[in-house]
Amino acid sequence: MPVADFGDAGVVSTETLNGVAELRAFLRGLPGVDEVGASERAARLATRSIKTSAKAEAIDLAISMVDLTTLEGADTAGKVRALCAKAAHPDPADASVPRVAAVCVYPDMVDVAVRALDGTGIGVASVATAFPSGRAPLAAKLADTRAAVEAGAAEIDMVIDRGAFLSGDLGKVFDEIAAVKDACGAAHLKVILETGELATLDNVRRASWLAMRAGADFIKTSTGKVAPAATLPVTLVMLEAVRDHRAATGRQVGVKPAGGIRTTKDAVKYLVLVNETAGPDWLSPEWFRLGASSVLNDLLMQRRKLATGAYPGPDYFTLD
């Protein structure tokens, strides 16, 4: 009997060419998301007041979850090496600061980052699949992915084909994710939904499940190249999705909001959201990441403020 493997959806019979129809029915059958209610919930959690010892814990946790990122056309090997040095020792003056989770670069910078991070235990994440638009033939996307993995990337951040998703061609999106997952080999796959282009929270929930069923190890909000990037309501819905997915299948998937997270306050709001939505099981760099770069210096400043009682000026922290 002809079958297709739909990841966690299980092996589905394609005898009547029903696989995509079943997938679509499943995604359409997910409970809806009320935008007003979800936004209210996210806004209420954002009023949590995290002070003193809880703030200190949250800052260190947030630092350890940062995917320190540089994704510019103007990136140089020197800039990447500087970023790697910062990733390993975010505050050279204070050895108690934890290292960040990963350094995230374009595929052609992977080997530079891998060499710079050798021995630090920090992984290199690479965007791939014609980031950020995803507009390339599948063969090019797979080649992009393989090149990054071969250069030593431990994590691949792929983008989904939003055009296909929005036009209803869910099978194409699913197949691409599955193919990229296959090309990743042992590398972890983060699937970028680009929620700013998905427009509704219903779509965010459906795309989250689609990515998880196709094999995503992480679901990620945004490329950072499209506004709006990560928002609290979007992340709330994705956290609900990974929580429900684990309850249904037993497999835990991580979440990564990316873009627009600039201050310690922002970062702490995300941690509260994780804590009270998906739960404490997600409160580690293994299951939650913050895709950001400028937030790191604010976290370091707030950290030193808590320790010394005084705000150091921005010039006391390195730019990259």
Partner 1 sequence: MVFEYAPAPESAAIVDVRPSYGLFVGGEFTDGHGEPFKSVNPADETVLAEIARADEGDVDRAVAAARTAFERVWGPMPGAERAKYLYRIARIVQERSRELAVLESIDNGKPIRESRDVDVPLVAAHFFYYAGWADKLGHAGFGPDPRPLGVAGQIIPWNFPLLMLAWKIAPALACGNTVVLKPAETTPLTALLFADICRQADLPPGVVNIVTGAGDTGRALAEHPGVDKVAFTGSTDVGRQIARSAAGTAKRLTLELGGKAANIVFEDAALDQAVEGVVNGIFFNQGHVCCAGSRLLVQESVAEELLERLKTRMATLRVGDPLDKNTDVGAINSAAQLARIRELADAGEAEGAERWSPPCELPPQGFWFAPTVFTGVAQSHRIAREEIFGPVLSMLTFRTPEEAVTKANNTPYGLSAGIWTEKGSRILWTAQRLRAGVVWANTFNKFDPASPFGGYKESGFGREGGRHGLEGYLDA
**Strand 3-5 with 11-13, pairing:** antiparallel
Position 271 contacts partner 1 (CB under 8 A): yes
- Residue-wise over 111-130: b if at least 16 C-beta within 10 A, else e? bbbbebbeeeebbbbbbbbb
Question: What is the spatial distance between Cα 320 and Cα 316, in angstroms, rounded to a whole number?
Answer: 12
Part in contact with partner 1 (CB under 8 A); list of ranges 1-9, 41-49, 179-187, 289-297: 41-49
Residue 66 Cβ vs partner 1, minimum distance, rounded to whole Å: 16
Q: Among all residues, which ones are annotated catalytic?
A: 157, 220, 256
Query: Hey, is 291 helix, strand or coil?
Result: strand
**Strand 123-127 with 102-105, pairing:** parallel
Position 58 contacts partner 1 (CB under 8 A): yes
Number of chain residues interacting with partner 1 (CB under 8 A):
29
Identify whether 31 is preceded by a cis peptide bond (ω within 30 of 0).
no
Residue 48 Cβ vs partner 1, minimum distance, rounded to whole Å: 5
Residue 297 Cβ vs partner 1, minimum distance, rounded to whole Å: 23
Residue in the block written with tokens 């895709």: 291
Residue 279 Cβ vs partner 1, minimum distance, rounded to whole Å: 8
Q: Is residue 8 a contact partner of residue 216, using CB atoms and an 8 Å limit?
A: no
Q: Which residues contact 58 (CB under 8 A, 6 or more apart)?
A: 50, 267, 268, 271
Question: Which positions from 278 through 297 interact with partner 1, judged by CB under 8 A?
Answer: 280, 283-284
Q: Return the number of the residue (36 or 74) whose C-beta is nearest partner 1.
A: 36
Part in contact with partner 1 (CB under 8 A); list of ranges 31-39, 70-78, 116-124, 154-162: 31-39
Residue 10 Cβ vs partner 1, minimum distance, rounded to whole Å: 20
Q: Is residue 144 a contact partner of residue 128, using CB atoms and an 8 Å limit?
A: yes
Q: What is the x/- site pattern for partner 1, positions 216-245, by CB under 8 A?
A: ------------------------x-----
Question: What is the spatial distance between Cα 191 and Cα 189, in angstroms, rounded to a whole number?
Answer: 6
Position 49 contacts partner 1 (CB under 8 A): yes
Residues that bind partner 1 (CB under 8 A): 31-34, 36-38, 40-41, 47-55, 57-58, 61, 240, 271-272, 275-276, 280, 283-284
